[in-house]
Structure 1
Amino acid sequence: MKIAIVGAGVVGLACAIALAEAGHAVEILERSSGNDAASWGNAGHIATEQVAPLASPATLRGAVRRLYPLGGALSLPPAMMGAWLPFALRMAAASTPRAFASGKQALSALLADALPAWQRLGGLLGDGDLVRDGGHFVAWETPARAAHGLAAWRATDTGTARFDSASAGQLAAINSLTARPVAGAIRFTGSAHIADLGRLGTAMRNRFMQASGRITPCDADLVRADGQAQIPGVAADLIVIAGGVRSGALVARVGHRAPIIAERGYHIRAAADRWPHDLPPIVFEDRSMIVTRYDDTVQAASFVEFGTPDAPPDARKWARLERHVAELGLPIAGPFTRWMGARPTLPDYLPAIGRSRRVDNLIYAFGHQHLGLTLAAITGEIVRHLADDITPPLAIDSFDLERFGGTGGRA
């Protein structure tokens, strides 16, 4: 088939590689000329432990103490209330115990094969060092916080990931990087990270091109005609929408409802001269900050800012990240490169993955929230099955867009 994919982020590229390797003629349509999507600025963490959707009673209970003005990572800018207030109401409605349990079951099944799928894709990309399955650390700064954090993680379902208290040697390795010693830490196994996001993007694009794929700069639109989805000016038998936060507006053109929001994250990067190359990501949980070493840089990332994708960034958030780095005494010196990107998030914190029941030739794969990198490879495999009318390797009913309303049939 001739297949057009909207979006060249990590999910779109994973879908494109899977489809091209299956023998289809695939063209990616990408509106951006740079790597400014959330795919290329995230923490690099393959988060197999995050099986609990953030739409939950626990999240709602803890929201106030996580607010940005109180020192937390949750930001609800007044200027963007028109975007986040309707989303917050939908999220609250999706956070009932019953909905949370159902969502967790669906997300757990998806995450169980996330790392194996990445290992399969990593082998295809021909870079054996790209996917590193060395786990990650979670650290706390005081004994009280360490005890509380450890108890919370012990009460949490972490799926296929496991953790144990950090060994004396591991704790010493973390403390060798901090002027303010951490009081406790745990080490996860069964999670992983990407060695370098830039290298990942290059490897994925190269593999796609080797499979005769094509990437076209294009601000694609979607229209409906005769029960089909069409992109004006593009000949395609099948269309895959993997455009991140802008996907909701596209699928709305053919009758779907996808109440997606831009969940904006921030990071700072600097040269990695003094950060160990073999140290996996460290989550400083008291500060809601994750630090990741890439090939030549080290990155500190944080914040959950609900709003619109194109609003100006809030420079105070970069400044707070720089202050966290300074207060911890981490060996990360400026000048810092500053970045902000928008995670595509749906109210129930489940992705939208499926074949449209409203037009015959449309597949969607977006809304992966914090798990876009984590779920990219397995999403690509699922989309390949859907394109070839083969039952996917796991149940995806919970990710059907019809959960947000509609007749449930082809309109």
Structure 2
Amino acid sequence: MPQFLVIGAGILGLSTALALQDKGLSVTLVDDAPDQPPASWGNAGHIAVEQVEPLASPATLRGVPGRLLASDDALSLPLRDLRHWLPFGIRLALAARPKTFRAGSVALKGLVTHSMPAWQRLVSGLGQPDLLRQDGHFVLWDTPQSAAAGLARWQASDTGTTDFHPIDREETAQLRALLGRDPAGGIRFRGSGQIASHDRLFQAMREKLLGRDGQIVTGKAIALPVTDGRAAVRLADGTLLASDGIIVTAGVASRPLMESLGHRVPMIAERGYHLHAPPGEWPADLPPLVFEDRSLIVTRFADYLRCSSFVEFSHPDSPADPQKWERLRRRVQALGLPFPLPAAEWVGSRPTLPDYLPAIGRSDRAGNLFYAFGHQHLGLTLGPLTGELIAAQATDQRPALDLSPFDLDRFG
């Protein structure tokens, strides 16, 4: 039976490992801290199938100067990390040119369109369909002016397989009970979703992997030495792991591994901050709320509540900025949300490439080496689908989608 090594135990790694097992293969997952929550544990839990346009866009570029001049915006470019984000920003600007943006939109839409069915297959295979909620989400605004502008933006946007409507009387009453006032404006999306619990999801995926004779090896992958055209995995303790196939799904840690083989990987740590608390009085049946003027999303999970914000272009090893958690608390208080404070703090790194497309494909440096990383804000959304696609390619089957737009060679 062919043996595969999957590096990284986040949503991409676990999804890929399970997809390989579905094909009857033997799988070992390698992670430096498999018992610790991965970066994909810290997101808002939103299955964002409405986000079919890359963030590397002309509209994003036009908005950057005003956001940087704003006193309390969610976008952050720390001067200490200038050498990391400046080259990335130049590449982002090039990727946002209209022709490149249009091509990227076609490629990303192909992925996002197929992501919800992949999620349905995943939770069904886990025997826990209730892990996926398909209740949509709300987008709310603070003022009538921002509501009118926000609605116009969404009406002009491609929202993929989702649709939306202005909040109706019943939805307004539901939100009034939570906020203590009527929203100035809002829309309700249908077709998007969320996971019920990060903890339950990752536990169920690990148990499924181990229950089918998969293995989890604790160790930090530091190199991919190639001998006779085939790669192996070298761990920090000197252990060398050989395998029929190796798939790199290590998030931001994928960059040094792939660059050691000569690949160009202009990836940055796009860090996000969240606060995590018991659910308190937050209604259990309320889908995620996006407060667009505040760049804030609040999600009620089965057993906890989480609010997330901030886009910080940085380095994964840079110290966290405690002021961001304080600003997040002030935003929660200003909105009058029944969110228990002070709440637990978390920061994590989204692996982001400058064109806001993931890297999914086969390396031309070693015949047994594959990769799947760089999913930016859509790691959770695209995780199960990406696992299926890369597992098909790694077993010489034809993937359901054309993977050429996601090849690393697009960066030279």
Give the letter aligned to residue 253 of structure 2: R
1:381–1:226 CA distance, 2 compared to 1 (3 A) = same
Give the letter aligned to residue 77 of structure 2: L
How big is each residue's C-alpha offset from its partner over 1:142-182, in whole Å with a ceiling of 9 and x where there is no partner?
A: 11111111011000011111111111111221221114542
* Cα shift at 1:297: 1.2
1:272 is aligned to 2:279: yes
Query: What is the SS of the residue equivalent to 1:176?
Result: helix
Task: Check whether the contact 2:16–2:387 (CA below 8 A) recurs between aligned residues.
Answer: yes
How big is each residue's C-alpha offset from its partner over 1:218-248, in whole Å with a ceiling of 9 and x where there is no partner?
A: 1012222221211132121110000001101
Aligned to 1:198: 199
How big is each residue's C-alpha offset from its partner over 1:272-323, in whole Å with a ceiling of 9 and x where there is no partner?
A: 0201111110000000000000122111101110010011110111111101
* Aligned counterparts of 1:400 and 1:168: Cα–Cα separation in 2: 47
* Aligned counterparts of 1:225 and 1:68: Cα–Cα separation in 2: 52
Query: What is the SS of the residue equivalent to 1:63?
Result: helix
* Aligned counterparts of 1:41 and 1:34: Cα–Cα separation in 2: 15
Aligned to 2:328: 321
Larger deviation, residues 353-362 vs 396-405: 353-362
Give the letter aligned to residue 227 of structure 2: A
Aligned to 1:359: 366
Aligned to 1:187: 188
Aligned to 1:291: 298
Equivalent of residue 396 in structure 1, options 403, 409, 412: 403
Give the letter aligned to residue 141 of structure 1: D
Aligned to 2:233: 231
Query: What is the SS of the residue equivalent to 1:187?
Result: strand
Aligned to 2:149: 148
Aligned to 1:220: 221
Give the letter aligned to residue 294 of structure 2: R
How big is each residue's C-alpha offset from its partner over 1:172-225, in whole Å with a ceiling of 9 and x where there is no partner?
A: 212211145421110111111001111111111111111211111110122222
1:344–1:404 CA distance, 2 compared to 1 (3 A) = same
TM-score (norm 1): 0.96
Give the letter aligned to residue 270 of structure 2: E
Give the letter aligned to residue 192 of structure 1: G
1:18–1:33 CA distance, 2 compared to 1 (3 A) = closer
Aligned to 1:409: none
Q: Which runs of 5+ in 2 are unaligned?
A: 235-239
Residues 7-406 of structure 1 aligned to structure 2 (within 5 Å): 7-67=8-68, 70-179=71-180, 181-221=182-222, 222-232=224-234, 233-405=240-412
Give the letter aligned to residue 206 of structure 1: E
Task: Check whether the contact 1:180–1:327 (CA below 8 A) recurs between aligned residues.
Answer: no
Task: Check whether the contact 1:134–1:280 (CA below 8 A) recurs between aligned residues.
Answer: yes
TM-score (norm 2): 0.96
Query: What is the SS of the residue equivalent to 1:263?
Result: strand
Indicate the percent of aligned positions where both proteins have the same amino acid: 51
How big is each residue's C-alpha offset from its partner over 1:4-58, in whole Å with a ceiling of 9 and x where there is no partner?
A: 0110000100000010121111001001254343200000000001111011111
* Aligned counterparts of 1:157 and 1:37: Cα–Cα separation in 2: 31
* Cα shift at 1:69: 5.1
* Cα shift at 1:358: 2.3
How big is each residue's C-alpha offset from its partner over 1:368-387, in whole Å with a ceiling of 9 and x where there is no partner?
A: 00000000010011012112
Aligned to 2:237: none
* Cα shift at 1:270: 1.3
Larger deviation, residues 100-109 vs 211-220: 211-220
Query: What is the SS of the residue equivalent to 2:320?
Result: coil
Give the letter aligned to residue 226 of structure 2: R
RMSD: 1.2
Give the letter aligned to residue 254 of structure 1: L
Give the letter aligned to residue 75 of structure 1: S
1:334–1:34 CA distance, 2 compared to 1 (3 A) = farther
* Aligned counterparts of 1:350 and 1:344: Cα–Cα separation in 2: 10
Larger deviation, residues 61-70 vs 138-147: 61-70
* Aligned counterparts of 2:116 and 2:67: Cα–Cα separation in 1: 30
Query: What is the SS of the residue equivalent to 1:390?
Result: coil
* Aligned counterparts of 1:403 and 1:35: Cα–Cα separation in 2: 33
* Aligned counterparts of 1:127 and 1:400: Cα–Cα separation in 2: 33
* Aligned counterparts of 1:2 and 1:315: Cα–Cα separation in 2: 44
* Aligned counterparts of 1:34 and 1:85: Cα–Cα separation in 2: 35
* Aligned counterparts of 2:332 and 2:96: Cα–Cα separation in 1: 34
Task: Check whether the contact 1:68–1:75 (CA below 8 A) recurs between aligned residues.
Answer: no
Task: Check whether the contact 2:352–2:374 (CA below 8 A) recurs between aligned residues.
Answer: yes
* Aligned counterparts of 1:404 and 1:306: Cα–Cα separation in 2: 19
* Aligned counterparts of 1:203 and 1:67: Cα–Cα separation in 2: 41
* Aligned counterparts of 1:369 and 1:68: Cα–Cα separation in 2: 24
Task: Check whether the contact 2:173–2:182 (CA below 8 A) recurs between aligned residues.
Answer: no
Give the letter aligned to residue 183 of structure 2: V
